Amino acid sequence: MEADPNISAMEALPAAAPAIASPWRIFWQRLRRQKIALAGGIILVILYVIAFFASFIAPYNYERQDRDLIFIGPMLPRVVGGHLAVQRYEQSTGLFKYAPVAGDWGRVHFFVRGDQHMFLGLFPSTMHLFGTGDPKRPIYLLGTDQFGRDIFSRLLYGSQISLSIGLIGIVLRFGLGMIIGGISGYFGGATDTVIMRLCELIMSIPALYLIMSLRATFPASLSSTSIYLLIIVILSLVGWASSARVIRGMALSLRERPFVLAARVLGQSDWWIVTRHILPGTFSYVIVAATLSVPYYILGEVVLSFLGVGIQEPSASWGTMLSAAQNVEYLTNYPWLLAPGVAIFITVLAFNFLGDGLRDAADTKT
């Protein structure tokens, strides 16, 4: 390279400038490095796929009762003679005690014909993922409950309710929270005071007390769709206040930023500023908070159903299934009734993993 005193040092520098990644790409890259978050995400994807195909994967309908095998324990298939097979059981001495019938195995097939169900809620089908194809040789992977219903199947049907409530719920809660919180923080003044007092009021009552009181203002028995929607609405009405408070705080500090001043000077309307400038600034909080609040919905439904004021029998939800376990005698003798509890645990754990990872990925300080 020839030294030319007329060329400044800057021109002599190679022209390569570092590629600037957008905030979303950075966020995504950081997220990929959080192994725990990925694990959580994968578990959730699996759970939602299973829930989606619940009626196909479940060998039995959620209402199907088997009066001969009430409270039977988990029946796990084994490899017998080169095939997967499940033992047949019959009544033994004592109430709800069963003994295997020696040598009587039913082969487990995949893609068998069984009870009719609505595949994806769209069209009727009798195809199931697995089963024995023989009504006399049932396969109850997680045992049966007090009505002889297959717990595994009910678990799957229940997952549809529990898992969907969360997703719809967070949209409602954070939708409300963002709009109200954003307006409150941006406009300030009397609006802000009134809204914040309201939030404080809501937050002063311990959540479940308020939830129960709200639930009581509606008739005890409603159609299952109504109850489903009601649960979501009530849980959101109680939860939006804390989210709105945080978003209002963020809006308050964001509105002092120069870019908002610039927008005002340019003549943009308040509404535009709130929706296009302020609220997007809250996204990193909202994504993390939303993920971490899905468990609140799942658990809310569980408590409501468990105490008898949520999803009603015979519908299967993880909450109603657990209420059978309230009977201490059942609980100690037939612990597989707690299976829905484990399912809830895994789901909540996955959401917490994911939410945590999202939070670490969004936190630009570390």
- Cβ-contact 2, 322 below 8 angstroms: no
Per the DSSP assignment, residues forming a β-bridge with 105 are 87
Exposure on the CB side of residue 104, measured as CA atoms within 13 A: 11
Residues between 5 and 24 with contacts to another protein, criterion CB under 8 A? 8-10, 12-13
For another protein, which is the closer residue by CB, 285 or 353?
A: 353
Q: Looking at residue 277, what DSSP letter applies? A: I
Contact between 197 and another protein per CB under 8 A: yes
Contact between 344 and another protein per CB under 8 A: yes
Residue type, 221: S
Query: Whose CA is closest to 92, among 80, 100, 84?
Result: 100
For another protein, which is the closer residue by CB, 311 or 322?
A: 322
Q: Which residue from 42, 76, 208, 261 is in contact with another protein, where contact means CB under 8 A?
A: 208
Q: How far apart are CA 315 and CA 356, in angstroms?
A: 33
Q: Which residue from 213, 221, 226, 253 is in contact with another protein, where contact means CB under 8 A?
A: 213
| β-sheet with 98-107: strand ranges across | 78-80, 83-91, 98-107
Q: Which residue from 6, 22, 93, 217 is in contact with another protein, where contact means CB under 8 A?
A: 217
Of 71-79, 204-212, 249-257, 260-268, the segment contacting another protein by CB under 8 A is: 204-212
Shortest distance, position 214 Cβ to another protein, whole Å? 7
Contact between 212 and another protein per CB under 8 A: yes
Q: Looking at residue 14, what DSSP letter applies? A: -
Contact between 249 and another protein per CB under 8 A: no
Contacts of 142 by beta carbon, 8 Å cutoff, 6+ apart = 74, 150, 151, 152, 155, 336, 339
Contact between 306 and another protein per CB under 8 A: yes
Q: How far apart are CA 176 and CA 239, in angstroms?
A: 10
Contact between 307 and another protein per CB under 8 A: yes
Q: Which residue from 91, 116, 326, 364 is in contact with another protein, where contact means CB under 8 A?
A: 326
- Cβ-contact 235, 169 below 8 angstroms: yes
Structure tokens at 299: 């658990």
Of 64-72, 86-94, 273-281, 331-339, the segment contacting another protein by CB under 8 A is: 331-339
Shortest distance, position 173 Cβ to another protein, whole Å? 16
Shortest distance, position 331 Cβ to another protein, whole Å? 5
Contact between 247 and another protein per CB under 8 A: no
Q: How far apart are CA 318 and CA 142, in angstroms?
A: 14
For another protein, which is the closer residue by CB, 9 or 102?
A: 9
Contact between 216 and another protein per CB under 8 A: yes
Contacts of 297 by beta carbon, 8 Å cutoff, 6+ apart = 165, 166, 169, 170, 232, 235
Q: Which residue from 299, 321, 354, 358 is in contact with another protein, where contact means CB under 8 A?
A: 299
Q: Within 10 Å of residue 316's Cβ, how many Cβ atoms? A: 28
The secondary structure element, H or E, covering residue 105 is strand 98-107
Shortest distance, position 148 Cβ to another protein, whole Å? 21
Please report, for residues 3, 89, 142, 365, the alpha-carbon distance to residue 68 in angstroms, rounded to integers and kept in the order given: 96, 10, 16, 62
For another protein, which is the closer residue by CB, 54 or 321?
A: 321
Contact between 335 and another protein per CB under 8 A: yes
For another protein, which is the closer residue by CB, 21 or 216?
A: 216
Contact between 237 and another protein per CB under 8 A: no
Residues between 251 and 270 with contacts to another protein, criterion CB under 8 A? none
For another protein, which is the closer residue by CB, 12 or 49?
A: 12
Encode 229-248: b = buried (16+ Cβ within 10 Å), e = exposed.
ebbbebbbbbbbbbbbbbbb
For another protein, which is the closer residue by CB, 114 or 319?
A: 319
Residues that bind another protein (CB under 8 A): 1-3, 8-10, 12-13, 197, 200-201, 203-210, 212-214, 216-217, 219, 295, 299, 302-303, 306-307, 319, 322, 325-326, 328, 331-332, 335, 338, 341-342, 344-345, 348-349, 352-353
